[in-house]
A and B are shown apart, each in its own frame.
Chain A
Amino acid sequence: MKFFNFHLMPYRHADLDAIERNGSAWVTYSNSHYDPEKGAGLYHEYLDQMELADRLGFDGVCLNEHHQTAYGMMPIPGVLAGALARSVKRAKLAILGRALPLLNNPLMVAEEYAMLDNLTRGRFIAGFVRGIGAEYHAMGINPAHSQDRFAEAHDLIIRAWTEPGPFQYVGKHYHFNYVNPWPRPYQSPHPPIWIPSQGSSSTIRWAAKMRYTYAQTLSPIAIVARFFQMYRDEAEKAGYTPSPDQLAWSNTIYVAETDEQAMREARPHLDALVNRFLKMPTEMLLPPGYSNIDSIKRIRAAKVTGKPTSVDDLVKNGVVIVGSPSTVREKLAAYQDLAGFNTSLTKTQFGTLPDDMTRANMQAIAQEILPHFRDRAPQGAQRAAAE
């Protein structure tokens, strides 16, 4: 299994009570709560952690994009990827991903990603997402155009990378007389493409058909297993058998000496992540048109945004893995076999977790977990397990 150090770069000094009073850390949580001195410190702290991950033997480091939120301070992830392109010497560098529909000019992502691919001499992984609903409130992009714009931007970027320029592009949302980006990507035909999603069936079907790596965000492992089986089924329908490398599980791992100590230490920081940084009202998460009506009804019925999430449930349901080295190894192996993935996108920092604890966690994962999974592939019949 491959391990990536996935960072959300939260503004971990946020006033959690103020977030609770506001109802969300997104869109309407005033940036007057942002202290530039503290924020600048956090950028350097988090970049240092990414460089540490490289030295510790993680296979890659991951950035992502969110706007107008204390949940993550990476509205323009390319800035941070640029900072890491030369200081992360060995590991892959992934942006998972840029939110294509938010862009009025997707060619800028074709350019940005090609630059990063050149700077890293081919260690770059290109993630494409639609962005969550809150992004459409924050960036003034019509959610009813989200799916169309994603499809069109994706096609334009792939063509820009693979067809000799200049050529003309005429779409519904994007129009260019000259598509001819310099530089071209370093990897041929282009960087690997990864598609993170909350589990939309149309996204899973599309990613499988395109042979893109599918990354499942924050979900109970039983649901992850179901989505990954859906991917394998869709790949078979598309005429090929996918490799477990095409499935990536986005998780959170915290390791300490004992289960009890690990739970005690991780609890307040996980609680901050799921019950403060991640919370938002349904109308912010799901603006009209962002998903088709059936999906919106399903998500509304599940009331995913309303109820508090207990840390114990997160652990019990396998959304996160917290424990002693042996507990974490056992659970991760069981989950790998259950769901059939071969990439772990692991948040080693989460919520309000401070630097010293994050670094200790990273060291523990590097020493106690990584070596045991280096050559381990999913075992057993995943189909049976997923059912």
Chain B
Amino acid sequence: MEEPNASRADVRGCNIALRRAGAGGPLLILHGASDAGLWLPFVADLATHHDVIAPEHPGFGSSDTPAWLDTIPDLASFYLDLLDQLDLTNVHLVGFDLGGWIAAELAVRNTRRLASLTLVGAAGIHVPGVAQIDPFLRTDERRIRDLFHDPARADDMVKRAARPEFEDIGLKNQTTTARLTWQPRGYDPHLAKWLHRIDVPTLLVWGANDRFFPPEFATAWQKLIPGAKLTVIAQCGHLPHIEQRPAFVAALDDFLDRMRAAA
């Protein structure tokens, strides 16, 4: 599928970039700290059988940075507004990294418009005693390579990040990421208390070799969200949708197919 033109959406005065393509039930993708604004091949895969909606978060890419943007819960409430505005129902919500954190905060608040929740290498909770990479004490190149199990797979992203025309966007994304995740580093101590409220089918997809949020995080999420299913993908770092795209897409399709069959 061709990359769709980026369109814009205006939500209560905050203007964001938003790509939308495909046919089927609505599937909202919330990107992570390192893949804002990319129409990645896995999105095209999903768009063959879903109406894929891929926004760039406020504060990222070419979206506005609104004065109200301080925390991940701010973005969760923003996306509840967006779902209302687009009047979407039965939405499959898929969040990666900090986008997974947004998705979980959103689902804790309100699942009225959701059909399912999928968290991929999600930030948002703390697991004691598990060593994590500090993304803020890494050079750009080192951080990108550490996202992958096979560092050679990072070449494209490293090259893209080094392009001069990407410097401003890269710094903007990092600045917003710091604003949202610096302290506590990548989690909200209050989120875990309320994850039991999530009442839609939930899938966790994790890279077996994720060094930012190692698989112990997946197990912890699974204990906190009632009935959550977990798929761990082998030979895979923090970005399963890039490093092991076929396995990732298969895991998500299988989860959604079983849901449909059960319904």
What residues make up the interface of A, taking CB atoms closer than 8 Å to B? 27-28, 136-137, 140-145, 281-284, 287-289, 293, 296-297
Q: Please determine whether A288 and B183 come into contact, CB atoms closer than 8 angstroms.
A: no
Contacts of A283 in B (CB 8 A): 136-139
Please indicate the chain A residues that have their CB under 8 angstroms from the CB of B179 in the complex. Answer: 142, 144-145, 289
Docked complex Cα distance between A293 and B137 (Å): 18
A236 to B185, CA, bound (A): 44
Residue of A nearest to B143 (CB): A283
Task: Determine if B167 and A144 form an interchain contact, defined as CB atoms under 8 angstroms apart.
Answer: no
Q: For the complex, give the distance between the alpha carbons of A283 and B141 in Å.
A: 12
Residues of B within 8 A of A282 (CB): 139
Chain A residues whose CB sits within 8 angstroms of the CB of B168 once the complex forms: 293, 297
Restricting to B124-146, which residues have a CB under 8 Å from any CB of A?
Answer: 136-139
A141: B residues at CB distance < 8 A: 183
B residues whose Cβ falls under 8 Å from a Cβ of A: 136-139, 167-168, 171-172, 174-179, 182-183, 185
A296 lies within 8 A of B171 (CB): yes
- Contacting A144 at CB < 8 Å: which of B137, B138, B139, B182? B182
Docked Cα-Cα span, A287 to B138, in Å, equals 10
**What residues of B have a CB within 8 angstroms of the CB of A293 in the complex?**
168, 171-172, 175
* 27 interchain pairs, CB-CB under 8 A: A27-B137, A137-B136, A137-B137, A140-B182, A142-B179, A142-B182, A142-B183, A143-B178, A143-B182, A144-B176, A144-B178, A144-B179, A145-B179, A281-B137, A283-B136, A287-B178, A288-B136, A288-B174, A288-B175, A288-B177, A288-B178, A289-B174, A289-B182, A293-B168, A293-B175, A296-B171, A297-B171
| A263, B198: Cα distance in complex, Å | 69
Bound complex: CA of A289 vs CA of B175, how far in Å? 5
Partner of A287, one of B136, B139, B172, B176: B136
Contact assessment for A297 and B175 in the assembled complex, using a CB-CB cutoff below 8 Å: no
Q: How far is the CA of A284 from the CA of B178 in the complex (A)?
A: 13
Q: Give Cα distance in the complex from A27 to B136, angstroms.
A: 13
- A28 and B137 contact, CB distance less than 8 A: yes
**Does more than half of chain B's interface fall in helix, strand or loop, or is it mixed?**
helix
Q: How far is the CA of A28 from the CA of B138 in the complex (A)?
A: 13
Q: How far is the CA of A282 from the CA of B177 in the complex (A)?
A: 18
Instruction: Knowing that A283-B136, A287-B136, A288-B171 touch, tell me 11 more A-B residue pairs with CB under 8 angstroms.
Output: A140-B182, A140-B185, A141-B183, A142-B179, A144-B182, A145-B179, A281-B137, A283-B137, A288-B136, A289-B178, A297-B168
- How far does the Cβ of A135 sit from chain B's closest Cβ, in whole Å? 13
A136 contact set on B, CB distance < 8 A: 182
A141 to B179, CA, bound (A): 10
Of A142, A145, A284, A296, which is within 8 A of B137 by CB? A284
What 7 pairs between A and B have smallest CB-CB spacing?
Answer: A144-B179, A288-B174, A288-B178, A142-B182, A288-B175, A289-B175, A289-B178
Docked complex Cα distance between A278 and B96 (Å): 38
CB distance from B135 to the nearest CB of A (A): 9
Closest Cβ–Cβ distance, residue B222 to chain A (whole Å): 29
The majority secondary structure among interface residues of chain A is helix
Q: How far is the CB of B170 from chain A (nearest CB, A)?
A: 10
Residues of B within 8 A of A27 (CB): 137
Instruction: Kindly state the separation between the CA atoms of A282 and B171 in the bound complex, as whole angstroms.
Output: 13
A142 near B175: Cβ-Cβ < 8 Å:
no
Chain A residues with CB under 8 Å of B167's CB are 297
Contact partners of A284 in chain B: CB under 8 A: 137
For B138, the closest partner residue in chain A by CB is A283
CB B158 to nearest CB in A, in angstroms, measures 16
* Complex: A283 Cα to B177 Cα, angstroms: 14
- Whole-angstrom CA separation of A143 from B175 in the bound complex: 9
Task: Give the docked Cα–Cα distance between A280 and B171 (Å).
Answer: 20
In the complex, A54 Cα to B183 Cα: how many Å?
Answer: 42
Within the assembled complex, what's the spacing in Å between the Cα atoms of A141 and B183? 7
Residue of B nearest to A293 (CB): B171
When distances are taken between beta carbons in the complex, the residues of chain B under 8 Å from A297 are: 167-168, 171
Inter-chain contacts of A281 with B (CB < 8 A)? 137, 139
A144-B175 contact in complex given A137-B137, A287-B136, C-beta closer than 8 Å:
yes
Distance in Å: Cβ of B46 to nearest Cβ of chain A:
30
Residues of the A chain whose Cβ atoms lie less than 8 Å from the Cβ of B182: 136, 140, 142-144, 287, 289
Complex interface: chain A residues within 8 A of B136 (CB): 137, 283, 287-288
